[in-house]
Amino acid sequence: MKKSIYLLLFFAGGSYSCFGQMLIHDQAIINQEERMVYKQWDKSKFTPEFKWYKPSSYYAYSLTWLLHLGYKNGPDLRPLRAGGEQTQRLALAAAMQVTNNYYKKEADTLRNTAIAEFANYSGTVSAADPLYILFYKKELAPLDNIVGNAFVNVPANVIQYMAESGAYNWYLTEMNSLKERYDNARRVDIDRGQRILLYHRIMLEHRKLADNWKYKLSMAQTMVDYQAKMKNKNDKASDYFNGSTKTEDEIMNQILSNRKTLKP
C-alpha cells in the first residue's frame, strides 16, 4: 500500500515538472513587436541600451544595434503610422469604397429612373396602372363583350326589329371602333398621362353611345308595340268587312228605301 502511494506521488511530481513552464518577460522583444505594427516608435525604447556606468550592457547593445544603426536611427517604419504604407492603403481603400458607393448610387438612380420610365411609357405594364385597375378597367369592361351586352333583358321581337332595321349593325360598328381604340390605348407606348386621357375620352364616348343605344331600344319597343296594335286593329277590321258585306249598290238602294219609308 505504501509502495503504491509513493509511485502515485512520484508520477504526480514528474507530470508537474514536465508541464511546468517559466514565463519570460523580455521588454526588448515587446518594444520591437510594438515598433513592427502601429503602437510606438519611441527612440528611448530601443533596448538594450548602452550605459557607460554599466560595462556589461555594451555586449548586448553591440550585438543588437551596432549592425543595425540605420534601423535604430532611421525614420519611423511602422506600416500603420500616420503616413505609413498600410495606412495609405487603408485610406485609398476607404476612398475607393466611397467612390464605389457613389457610382453604385448613380447606377441605382439610373436603374430606378429607367424602370420608372418603362412603367410610365410601356404598354406592356399598362394593365398594372393603379388608376386603371381601380376605375377605368371597370368602366370600360363592356367593350370586352360587345355582343353579350347589346341585348340584356330585351324581348325577342325587339331584337328582331333592331336587326332588320339595321340599328344593330350600327351599334356593332360604333362599339367595335371604340374597342379598337381602347385596345390600342392599352398596347401603345405613350406617356401615362396621355394614356389616361385616352381612357377617359373612350369612356365618355362609350357612355354616350350606350345611352343612345338604350334610347333606340326604347323606341324600338314602342314601335313594336304600335305595330302589334295596328295589326290587331286591321285583323278586327277585316273580320268586320268580310265576304258577306253588301256591295255599294246594295247599300245605296237600302239607304234610298229607308228614306222612302221615313216619308209621311
**Structural domain spans, the chain:** 26-78, 83-121, 127-237
* 70 confidence band (pLDDT: 50, 70, 90): confident
Per-residue pLDDT averaged across 134-160, rounded?
90
d(CA 51, CA 104): 61
More confident residue, 104 or 49: 104
Residue bearing cell 381601380: 134
Q: How many CB atoms lie within 10 A of CB 167?
A: 16
Q: List phi, psi (to 5°) of 157.
A: -70, -35
Residue 210: per-residue pLDDT: 93
Residue 214: per-residue pLDDT: 92
Residue bearing cell 507530470: 15
Question: Which of 62-66, 75-79, 146-150 has the lowest average pLDDT?
Answer: 62-66
* 262 confidence band (pLDDT: 50, 70, 90): very low
Cell of 100: 464605389
Residues 180-198: pLDDT tens digits?
999 998 888 888 888 899 9
Closest by Cα among 90, 95, 75, 89 to 35: 75
* 260 confidence band (pLDDT: 50, 70, 90): very low
